[in-house]
């Protein structure tokens, strides 16, 4: 298993772009995230929607191994040496596991990786509708063991990121699990039983910012970008959609006070969830390649100065959140510009 040897990029990754029986039943045969992306419409003058993938990648299917290989090779060429895959485990059921299994078993894919347990319920609000729960998270000591046993097959991959030999494992919303400390203790015990010196647990600051991860029994936190506590509304006066200023928000994020606990940092190229929420979308305008470049350079310097040698990682949200207008993958408007900035700041991946 690989340890860090210099400051590296980890891009968050959504493994949703392939048909599954559950989405067929809920949304129609063959539904994927691309259906939302394609249907998005601009909500005001000069609103950039829809986001159209660059012709060299197209509306891909992540059930195709060759597509995954090309995608990961592209990431490596531009300095994205590692991915953090969202891991969906509902009481032992993982509806989006197919791409992860292919990636883990591939000899052609060279990128390092880790997992982030997306431990929130699946509801229709994800698509701007009602709060009907489609898949519910349940919590128990037995389910903590079930989850670890499933995730362990990934932890044992030689490309899985470890911190001092401990698998790096993120939880997206640890505050939603009333048994989080018990889960952490169970996972640490099981990690040792499976031959690891432990497990390195990281809380994502998705909605709760500033909570010491030790309160969950965790080792560190990672900033989520955008940090919703740092947003500034734009001059647009209409209440819907909610429009924030990208550059002002980045500035506020970069100026945050360093916490007493260990926090890894995160950048984002943009955000616009119009494909999912339509007129009730939240989005950022005043996006800027220069601001994104400055932020990445700043976070790299911050990481080198403030984080230990074994945590030299900068996160980026995200590689392919097309439904949230938050993607490093090239589109027709910006082409490979965001990836070019990553390569400039971090160099090509080894």
Could you report the per-residue pLDDT of 4-61, keeping only the tens digit for each? 448 999 999 999 999 999 988 988 999 999 999 999 999 999 999 999 999 999 999 9
Residue 10's beta-bridge partner residues?
Answer: 82, 315
Quickly state the pLDDT bin for 132 (edges 50, 70, 90).
confident
pLDDT in tens, 70-98: 999 999 999 999 999 999 999 999 999 99
Is 1 contained in some domain?
Answer: no
Flag whether 3 is in a domain. no
Does residue 183 lie in a domain region? Answer: yes
In the chain, the number of structural domains is 1
Q: Give which of 63, 41, 58, 59 is closest to 50, Cα–Cα.
A: 41
In a domain, 338, yes or no: yes
Which residue range(s) make up the domain with 109? 8-346
- 143 belongs to a structural domain: yes
Q: Residue 127 belongs to a domain with what CATH number?
A: 3.20.20.80
**Distance in angstroms (rounded) separating the CA atoms of residues 246 and 284:** 5
47 is written with which tokens?
């609103």
- 176-213 pLDDT tens trace: 999 999 999 999 999 999 999 999 999 999 999 999 99
Does residue 222 form part of some domain? yes
Quickly state the pLDDT bin for 127 (edges 50, 70, 90). very low
- 228 belongs to a structural domain: yes
Distance CA 182, CA 141 (A): 7
Mean pLDDT of the chain: 94
What mean pLDDT do residues 203-228 have?
97
């Amino acid at each position: 298993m690989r340890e860090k040897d210099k400051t590296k990029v980890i891009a968050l990754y959504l493994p949703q772009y392939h048909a599954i029986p559950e989405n067929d039943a809920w949304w129609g045969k063959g539904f994927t995230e691309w259906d939302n992306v394609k249907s998005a419409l601009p909500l005001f003058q000069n609103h950039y929607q829809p986001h159209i993938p660059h012709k060299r990648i197209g509306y891909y299917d992540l059930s195709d191994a060759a597509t995954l290989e090309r995608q990961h090779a592209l990431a490596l060429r531009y300095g994205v040496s590692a991915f953090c895959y969202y891991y969906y485990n509902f009481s032992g059921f993982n509806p989006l596991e197919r791409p992860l299994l292919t990636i883990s078993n591939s000899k052609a894919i060279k990128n390092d990786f880790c997992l982030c347990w997306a431990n929130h319920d699946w509801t229709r609000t994800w698509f701007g509708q009602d709060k009907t729960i489609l898949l519910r998270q349940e919590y128990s000591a037995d389910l903590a063991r079930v989850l670890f046993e499933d995730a362990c097959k990934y932890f044992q991959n030689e490309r899985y990121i470890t911190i001092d030999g401990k698998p790096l494992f993120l939880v997206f919303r640890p505050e939603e699990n009333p048994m989080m400390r018990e889960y952490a203790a169970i996972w640490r015990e099981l990690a040792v039983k499976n031959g690891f010196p432990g497990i390195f647990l990281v809380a994502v600051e998705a909605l709760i910012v500033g909570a010491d991860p030790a309160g969950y029994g965790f080792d560190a936190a990672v900033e989520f970008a955008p940090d919703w506590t740092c947003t500034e509304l734009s001059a647009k006066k209409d209440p819907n959609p909610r429009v924030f200023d990208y550059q002002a928000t980045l500035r506020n994020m970069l100026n945050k006070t360093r916490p007493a606990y260990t926090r890894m940092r995160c950048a984002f190229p943009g955000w616009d969830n119009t494909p999912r929420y339509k007129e009730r979308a939240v989005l950022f305008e005043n996006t800027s390649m220069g601001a994104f470049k400055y932020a990445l350079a700043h976070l790299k310097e911050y990481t080198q100065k403030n984080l230990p040698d074994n945590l030299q990682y900068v996160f980026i949200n995200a590689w392919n959140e097309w439904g949230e207008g938050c993607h490093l993958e090239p589109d027709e408007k910006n082409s490979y510009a965001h990836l070019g900035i990553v390569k400039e700041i971090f160099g090509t991946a080894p």
